[in-house]
Structure 1
Amino acid sequence: MAVITHARPSLEVDYRTLSTDDQDRFDQLMERADHAGPHDYQPLMDTLAVLTGINARDVARCSCYTDAYGCGCAAIFDTALPGAVVTATNSPNCNLSQLQCPTCGHDHPRPITD
């Protein structure tokens, strides 16, 4: 009898490994989630989790991907991972803060200042 092990749910994926269509869909869903009302936000996050294969309530893309001072990291990750670093809080009427993945948060943290 063969023993089958189940794959562990992913907590981080590389944006660049998504197909071009899935990258576009991810970007659109994140934009919608950023401006979603309280009843629409979680269904959008659930769709993002399925799209990326991340077992998470909330997902984020590492803020280093567009940051002029960042490393170009392409991580999409569970926002509840230990070591994630907030680099900017959400703007008024927006839901999403900018976060660094745990690797970037460890390697080159740039916490927000008050």
Structure 2
Amino acid sequence: MSVLTHVRPTSRTTTYDQLTPFRQTLFDTAIADAAEAANATDYNHAQQRAAHAAGLTIPTGGEVTKCACLDCYCTAIFDTSGPGLRVIETTDYGLVLHQCATCTDDHPTPVED
């Protein structure tokens, strides 16, 4: 006898322009709240709200972000623990800006001398 179970989607990415305007506002507000969080609890709560607004599931203490590619206008939103990501900058406030795996492949870092 087969048993079917309900499974949550396991997608680790979505795109900002696939979100409804309402969900975009929820995502933007949650990301802004995370950036301005005074402590880890507030930051983690804001990250969970951002993930939920984007339709993603992240573990407790996980993070989501929008691609910060400097070479194109990418609207990918992704779990920062995913494979193939690249840190492109760390801001003065210690926030890490990531490039999604697709942009990492499409726009590789030039070899420095």
TM-score using structure 1 length: 0.79
Structure-2 residue corresponding to 1:11: 12
Q: Could you list the runs of 5+ residues in structure 2 that have no partner in the other structure?
A: none
Alignment of 1:46-65 (within 5 A): 46-56=48-58, 57-64=62-69
Q: 1:19–1:84: structure 2 CA closer, same or farther, 3 Å change rule?
A: same
Q: Is 2:13–2:78's contact at 8 Å kept on the other side of the alignment? A: yes
How much is the aligned-residue C-alpha RMSD, in angstroms?
Answer: 2.2
Structure 1: unaligned runs, 5 residues or longer: none
Aligned residues: 106
Aligned partner of 2:88 in structure 1 is 87
Structure 1: which 4+ aligned runs deviate by more than 6 Å?
Answer: none
Q: Distance in 1 between matches of 2:109 and 2:43?
A: 27
Q: Deviations over 1:62-102 (max 9, x none)?
A: 002xx4xx22111000101111111110322xx53211011
CA 1:28/1:110 → structure 2, altered by over 3 Å: closer, same or farther?
farther
TM-score by length of 2: 0.80
Displacement after TM superposition at 1:8 (Å): 3.2
**Secondary structure of 2:91 counterpart:** coil
Q: Give percent identity, aligned residues only.
A: 33
2:96 alignment counterpart: 97
Question: Could you tell me whether the CA contact under 8 Å between 2:24 and 2:53 is conserved in 1?
Answer: no
Q: Which has the larger radius of gyration?
A: 2
